[in-house]
Amino acid sequence: MPTLKVTFDPHGRTVEAQTGESLLNIAARNGIEIPNLCGGQGVCGKCRVRITHGEVDFSADAMNLLDRKELREGFVLACRTRMKDEDVRVWVPVAADVKDQVLTEDAVSRYDPPTVLQKGRILPDTPYFRPLSQKILLELPEPSLADNISDLERIYRELRKKTPYTDARVDFACLRGLSASLREHGWRVTATLHWNDPNDPSIRSLEGGNTSSSNLGVAIDVGTTTVVAQLVDLRTGTILGVKGCHNRQAHFGADVISRMIFACTRDGMRTLTNSIIETIDSLVDSLLAEAHASTTSVTCFVVAGNTTMTHLLLGLEPCTIRLEPYIPTANRFPPVSAAELGLKSHPTALVHCLPCVSSYVGGDITAGVLACGMNDRAELSALIDVGTNGEIVIGNSEWLVCCSASAGPAFEGGGIKCGRRATTGAIHKVSISRERVSCQTIGGGKPSGICGSALIDTLAELFAEGIIDERGKFVRLDDPRLQVIEDVPEFILAPGSETATGEPVVITEDDISNLIKSKAAVLAAMKLLLDQLGMSFKDLHHVYVAGGFGSHLDVENAIMIGLLPDLPKRRIRFIGNSSLAGARSALLSTHAFTKARAIARQMTYYELSAHPEFMTEFVAALFLPHTQRRLFPTVKEKLAKGRNKA
């Protein structure tokens, strides 16, 4: 079979391919990112690319995901397009740079020492600042007949002078070669202590000479879509850098469910585990390069991820998570050697995964609770993480309950015609009045799509303006701002003449229906939890909103559509990537790490699928803002005013 060539633009990279290979696979194999949500199953329609030269085989069954214009212009779905017998040239829409999204939205955790995120000054030794790994330089007196204790006891004696850790366990591996190493290095030795709990340090490395000038840790938020890593100087608590990228597992399925299905095929798990390890390795590599630091400086990782991501990282089968009764192998994980996982780092580095609560409430949520501190307050708080699964935690310093609702990917742009993640070029703010529609894009340029915060704005504004009704249907199909494409009415937010792609950015009636289902799932879950506790929305003193929405989200609009409960604005706070913030807290503080375990242990998981009332609540929430309008008094008032105005 002859080797064919594929050139991907705008990168201009030419790679080799075989007849019959799909463009998505060819790109994945060569590390070229083509956005997609379904992992190549031909259902999300996001992997559009344009064939600019050459002939390809395009599977007819996915044609309906492209409109006539796209087909005319040579667009195809990369996953459904296979090489024939000639070289081709392919134009790939520029993949959003995930960095924008994560750098701006990392929350500061209350566990962070005061100077974190500030200048790299050495910190005073606060009770909270005790990283999970610590290097201590020991300068030992040479032995003599009068002082002939063993090498190891000599090390302990010096350690006792410098630290309160009098009886740290020592790993056997530290002893091999120790004798020669101490003598070669003139009785200077660097001990690396690791804490798995605040009272139980262990010595994992005894290196000859002084290696204590550098000790780095990595906090990682392993999301299903995005992986974000932060490099931290463990001597000072200073953040040296943060980087995000797409989870390379996405080549094998966009959401946790498709990953789990793939994991349970032959070799699937190994493939997924390797992918996430590669993803983390490449992030850490580039963080280290920017910090001019070496791989062996990294002695500790703390990972926060949902239960499935954590299982896949650790090489634990996730198959039983997917199927009733939804059982993970474990929710708390012993530390594991980074070398055993295959992560590049110091040979004795450890990986700690933050504990999960259940199959669908993971370490990312534990990290979120840790970061917002709701478990330390007497008043009632809620934490909401809106993603494909919407996770909700309610509680206070006495108790915590949580649940997970399948919200669908609408707020992340999935299943939305012009949906995009919150990255450069996405519309993130929309206001609609009788006269005009105004849009702001991330980065300020021409829009190429619309992200979650703007979808909420759009829904709220369309509803407030009376353009859609309570069920999300367009009231007047003759509105000049509407167009009907293939029988589906859609509202034009930006005409083709004003966009980066030349295509209009629109929201369709189907999009609106998907968004309403998503918000209904989240609200219904929160209401059901509160009902079970004999409480209601107004009892919530704090509502923390975690995740990609970030500061762009307009709280009043989120209330208007019934995504967030109708509470005074000051009670609602966006905490950004609290998964990363919580992981960093744990990395920098054994106290916080221990607290994370207590949080996970303390959280009572409420399995919605075991409660038929959830369906009733869900159906009741499929209205804007809700069937029971009395739950949203300020919305009711605003709408009344709007009507009066009109």
Residues in the site for its own copies, rule: CB under 8 A? Answer: 143-153, 169-172, 175-180, 183, 314-317, 319-320, 324-337, 340, 358-359, 607, 609-610
DSSP 436-487: -EEEEETTSS---EE-HHHHHHHHHHHHHTTSB-TTS-BS-TT-TTEEEETT
Q: How far apart are CA 250 and CA 628, in angstroms?
A: 39
* CB of 357 vs its own copies, minimal distance in Å: 10
317/470 with CB nearer its own copies: 317
Q: How far apart are CA 98 and CA 92, in angstroms?
A: 16
* CB of 532 vs its own copies, minimal distance in Å: 15
273/299 with CB nearer its own copies: 273
| Residue pair 464/560 in contact by the 8 Å Cβ criterion | yes
* CB of 215 vs its own copies, minimal distance in Å: 23
DSSP 413-431: TTT-TTB--SSTTEEEEEE
* CB of 168 vs its own copies, minimal distance in Å: 11
| Residue pair 515/416 in contact by the 8 Å Cβ criterion | yes
In Å, what is the CA distance from 169 to each residue of 85, 129, 165, 350?
Answer: 63, 22, 10, 15
* CB of 171 vs its own copies, minimal distance in Å: 6
- Residue 127 is classified by DSSP as S
172/444 with CB nearer its own copies: 172
Amino acid at 346: H
* CB of 345 vs its own copies, minimal distance in Å: 16
Strand partners, 4: 17
107/260 with CB nearer its own copies: 260
109/331 with CB nearer its own copies: 331
DSSP 573-609: EEEESHHHHHHHHHHHBHHHHHHHHHHHHHEEE--GG
* CB of 604 vs its own copies, minimal distance in Å: 11
* CB of 414 vs its own copies, minimal distance in Å: 27
66/276 with CB nearer its own copies: 276
- Residue 144 is classified by DSSP as B
Q: How far apart are CA 564 and CA 542, in angstroms?
A: 12
Strands 81-83 and 350-353, sheet pairing:
unpaired
127/325 with CB nearer its own copies: 325
153/379 with CB nearer its own copies: 153
Token pair of 444, please? Answer: 């300020």
DSSP 321-337: HHSTT---S-SS---EE
For the chain, give the longest Cα–Cα distance: 100
190/307 with CB nearer its own copies: 307
**Other CB atoms within 10 Å distance of the CB of residue 84:** 13
* CB of 319 vs its own copies, minimal distance in Å: 7
Q: Which one, of 526, 488, 485, lies nearest residue 621 by Cα?
A: 526
180/640 with CB nearer its own copies: 180
* CB of 265 vs its own copies, minimal distance in Å: 14
Which H/E stretch holds residue 382? strand 381-386
Q: How far apart are CA 219 and CA 232, in angstroms?
A: 8
| Residue pair 359/521 in contact by the 8 Å Cβ criterion | no
30/329 with CB nearer its own copies: 329
55/142 with CB nearer its own copies: 142
* CB of 201 vs its own copies, minimal distance in Å: 14
316/456 with CB nearer its own copies: 316
558/600 with CB nearer its own copies: 600
Token pair of 586, please? Answer: 């744990």
* CB of 148 vs its own copies, minimal distance in Å: 4
Token pair of 615, please? Answer: 């369906």
| Residue pair 427/454 in contact by the 8 Å Cβ criterion | yes
* CB of 158 vs its own copies, minimal distance in Å: 15
Q: Which one, of 69, 90, 88, lies nearest residue 78 by Cα?
A: 90
DSSP 3-state of 180: helix
DSSP 3-state of 189: strand
* CB of 27 vs its own copies, minimal distance in Å: 32
